Structure formats: structure tokens, C-alpha cells
Structure 1
Amino acid sequence: MSAHDRAARKKVALRDYDALREQRPELFENPPGAACEILLDRADQERASDEASRAAVAAGLPESTGDIGVVYRDPYFRLVRDAVRFAHDKDRRLGTYIRIVPVSVSGGAAVLPVLTDGRVVLLHHFRHADRAWHWEIPRGFGAPGEDGAGTAAREVQEELGVHVADFTYLGAVSPDTGLRAGVDHLYLARIGAAQLADRPARGARVEGIDAYQAVPQGEFRAMVADRRISDAFTLSAYALAMAQGLLEGGR
């Protein structure tokens, strides 16, 4: 790649970075005591980028590994690489830190579906990321302009084929504070057993869902204990619902 092309690539990444700063200033704050300080001065960014690029090339990685800014984007996420100063390093060295920033400001949502007899509804869902099947609750990315409750209602409709108008808000969860910015929102939905179809509709099957299972809460706890349930959203929603006393009396 020519020097001109590299400069153009870096310019686009920084342009999108500045736009993100305008949209989401809270993501670029440097609170007191922060272990790494985000650098917004162009000269500092250039120095950090150059150092990271040299280290990357020496390690056999692409020179672009040192680019600062929005280095990738799709309809769901931006991949952001910040220039930073490591405040507690004795040399206060410069470096880079990468993070994922969802496009949706409100975040995604997950819903714990509970039948009127206390059973918890789980979906058998194939996930591409780890190429494995999981028992989990409905969840998904937020659409632009959609709040958490709107995402929750849409996901339950799409994945369970059930219309729910009233949700109980459980709280927010930070899925991976080491990599991803923002939170997702967790809800509980009460569903009548007659509302639940015997098998997923075609749209849900296209998404990788091949079965539903309504399990008593005792069986749910057993599934957690023997690691048949490992999905973080499912575990978090259940823990919050239990801690708030919303599942008392479930079998």
C-alpha cells in the first residue's frame, strides 16, 4: 500500500472517530484515576499510532494495526482503536486500546420468558461465534432509534412468536467490560402457556433456533449447575429476577 493510500485510510478512521466523539462524548471521558487516558491531541495520536504500528510490524502483524479511530464498522458495531497514555506506567508510555462500540446507543436487550406456572422458557440456539448450540433466552441487538423495551418486544415476537406488551425491567448488564462499551437491558416477560407454539416458526429457524423448552425452575438450576446453560445474558437475567423476588414460588 502506498503512503498516499495509508494516509487516506487513517484520515477516514479519524474522521469517523471525531464524529463518534460528537455523538457519544461520554465514551471519551477521562475520569480521575483512570489507568489509561484517552489522547485526543492529533500529535499524541500520531505518536501512539506510529509506536503501535512499528511494534505490530515487528510482531508480523499488519501496519494498520496501529491505526487510531474507527477502524471497522458494520450495521451493528464499530471497532474503535484509541490512542492512550498508561497513567500508572513509570514511563507514562503511549499505546493503543481497542474496543467495540454498538451502533445502537440504547444497547441490546434480552428477555427472561416465564410462564404463569413458573416455568422458564429457553431457546435452543445455534451461535456462529463459537459454532455451538446453547440453551438461552431471547435476545438481540437494538435497532437505531429503538429503546430497550422496544428491542425486547421485537425479539420475543421474532424468536418466540409471542406478543408481549408489558415487561418487568430487571436492570442493565455490561456484557464484557474489557472489550465492549455500553450496556444491554434485561427484562422479564410473563407469558401464558397457550401463547407458546410447539416449535419455532420458520423465521426463528432461519436465525438458528430449532426448539423451545419450558423448564421448571428446579431443572433450570440443575442446568446451570451442570453447565448446560452458559449464556451470560440468561444467567444474568435469572440472577436478577431471583434477587428481586420475581420468581418466588416457581418450581
Structure 2
Amino acid sequence: MDVSERRARRLAAYQRLVNDRGHLFKNPEDAPFRILLPDDPAAQNEVADAAAALARVQGLPEEFGDIGIVYQDDYITVVRDAVRFPSGESGAYVRICPTADGGGAAVLPVLEDGRVVLVHHFRHADRQWHWEIPRGFSEPGETGDATARREAEEELRCPVGELLELGAMNADTGIAATRTKLYLARLDENEFRTEPSEGARQEGIGAVRAVSPGELREMLKRGEITDSFTLSAIALATAGGKLR
């Protein structure tokens, strides 16, 4: 496949994303970085040519400079936008968008006695174990509360009773165009088990732990909880008076 055909395919996929999810490509009047949309192909090719030349100098494939959708799977879509900076110069910005429009959900599980349930999850990105709450990407057409309920029940093998929406958070505004809904789930203490299911183990969950409010506070003070979704859910639940 030659350069022009490869770029054309990526830009065609990019145009479909613009058409389907225009809110990801809006240019507010006060935006310092303005996206150069597909209706300006000359500007996009100018940015791609400059980025390709830089990639060659660095010993990287020149396609690293392509504009459009540069990677996609069932969960994430990696986009490289051509943008105009405040100086008037143009360049490229890379960002990660959720493949499904719903984004995802994270859920803070709480037992009837006030204990909070955490899972010990090994994460590939930083190659470390983290104490965190259940979370996951939404499936196509799935609502946030449905995602929250599904993820909690899959990871904990425990039915969710009351489900309360806490709010939403942006995990990393520097790279990710994702907005995750946060929930608090009430669990039946009689149904709760600390042994992870085989499915949970396959996803990297090694342990399940129920901690008292005092234990949770100490874990936070010792820096044992660093996951942004977990910290945000705890903060919102505490501010809303939903945690003891």
C-alpha cells in the first residue's frame, strides 16, 4: 500500500468518526488548539508530511506521522489530529478515545456494615498491583449504570442491590478523551465472597478485600491507593455523605 492510499484510508475512518461523534471534534471559540478537520486536506497533509520527516530522522516508520485513526480495537481508538497552535503554526496531537460511545463506568462497592470492597488488580500499563474498585469499558449501546452493575457482579460474584450515581471523572485530560461515570453499589453481605472468580483471576485480579472506613482512611494516608478512579469515587461518595 502506498503512502497516499494508507493516508486516505485513515482519513476516511477519521471522517466517519467525525460524523458519528462530532462532540469529540468541536472547536470552541476560545480553544487555543484548533483541530484541522478533514475538509482541509491540504493542511492535514502538510502536518503529516512534517511529522513523517521527523519520524524518519528518529529512525521510526514514517506512518507514525499519519493523521486520522492510527489504531483501534474493541476498547480504544487512537487518533492523531492535525491542529493549529496559538502561534499559527500547525502540528499533531495524539489522543485516546473510547471505541464505544458510552465510555465506561467504575463502581464503589459498599457492604451493609459500611465496609468498602476493593480488588487487588495487576495492571499491565505500569506492571504493578493496585488496590482499586471494579471498572470497565461500556459495551456498544450499554448505559453507564448497566456497565457498573455488570462489572461489579463479574468481578465480585455478588449481586448488586441499590446503585447510586456519584458523578463522573476524566482520568487523564492530557491524553484521553474519556469521561467515566462513577457509582456506589450496595452489596448483600450474605452474598459477598472474598475469593476472586476464575474469570476475575484471568483479568489480573488476585484478591478481594473488604475494609472498614478506618482501614480505608489509613490505606489512603499510607499511599496504598493511587488509582484515579478509586480516589475519585471515594472523594465523591464522601462529599455526598454516602460513606460513613
Quote how far apart the aligned CAs of 1:144 are: 0.8
Asked if 2 retains the 8 angstrom alpha-carbon contact of 1:153 and 1:165, the reply is no
In structure 2, the partner of 1:5 is 2
For residues 222 and 53 of structure 1, what CA distance do their matches in structure 2 show? Answer: 50
Quote how far apart the aligned CAs of 1:217 are: 1.0
For residues 220 and 6 of structure 2, what CA distance do their matches in structure 1 show? Answer: 46
In structure 2, the partner of 1:194 is 190
Quote how far apart the aligned CAs of 1:10 are: 0.8
Question: Residue type matched to 2:50 in 1?
Answer: E
> Where does 1:148-187 land on structure 2 (aligned, <5 Å)?
148-187=144-183
TM-score by length of 2: 0.96
Quote how far apart the aligned CAs of 1:192 are: 2.1
Quote how far apart the aligned CAs of 1:182 are: 2.7
Say which SS state the counterpart of residue 2 (structure 2) adopts.
Answer: helix
For residues 178 and 21 of structure 2, what CA distance do their matches in structure 1 show? Answer: 11
Say which SS state the counterpart of residue 195 (structure 1) adopts.
Answer: coil
Of 156-165 and 146-155, more deviation after overlay is shown by 156-165
The answer to whether residue 230 in structure 2 is matched with residue 234 in structure 1 is yes
In structure 2, the partner of 1:209 is 205
Quote how far apart the aligned CAs of 1:126 are: 1.2
Question: Residue type matched to 2:237 in 1?
Answer: A
Q: State the 4+ residue runs in structure 1 displaced beyond 3 angstroms.
A: none
In structure 2, the partner of 1:129 is 125
Question: Residue type matched to 2:9 in 1?
Answer: V
Q: Pick one of 19, 25, 29 that aligns with 1:28.
A: 25
In structure 2, the partner of 1:61 is 60
Q: Pick one of 78, 91, 98 that aligns with 1:95.
A: 91
In structure 2, the partner of 1:18 is 15
- Provide the aligned C-alpha RMSD in A: 1.1
Asked if 1 retains the 8 angstrom alpha-carbon contact of 2:102 and 2:142, the reply is yes
For residues 112 and 10 of structure 1, what CA distance do their matches in structure 2 show? Answer: 43
Asked if 1 retains the 8 angstrom alpha-carbon contact of 2:80 and 2:95, the reply is yes
Quote how far apart the aligned CAs of 1:61 are: 2.5
CA shift digits 1:126-150 (9 cap, x unpaired): 1111111111111111111111011
The answer to whether residue 107 in structure 2 is matched with residue 111 in structure 1 is yes
The answer to whether residue 219 in structure 2 is matched with residue 223 in structure 1 is yes
Unaligned runs of 5+ residues in structure 2 are none
Question: Residue type matched to 2:49 in 1?
Answer: D
Quote how far apart the aligned CAs of 1:166 are: 3.0
For residues 5 and 182 of structure 2, what CA distance do their matches in structure 1 show? Answer: 41
CA shift digits 1:140-163 (9 cap, x unpaired): 111111110110011011100112
Percent of residue pairs identical? 52
For residues 37 and 207 of structure 1, what CA distance do their matches in structure 2 show? Answer: 39
Quote how far apart the aligned CAs of 1:165 are: 4.7
State the number of aligned residues: 242
Say which SS state the counterpart of residue 200 (structure 1) adopts.
Answer: coil
TM-score by length of 1: 0.93
For residues 205 and 47 of structure 1, what CA distance do their matches in structure 2 show? Answer: 48
For residues 201 and 49 of structure 1, what CA distance do their matches in structure 2 show? Answer: 47
Asked if 2 retains the 8 angstrom alpha-carbon contact of 1:30 and 1:37, the reply is yes
Say which SS state the counterpart of residue 150 (structure 1) adopts.
Answer: helix
Say which SS state the counterpart of residue 144 (structure 1) adopts.
Answer: coil
Say which SS state the counterpart of residue 194 (structure 1) adopts.
Answer: coil
Say which SS state the counterpart of residue 10 (structure 2) adopts.
Answer: helix
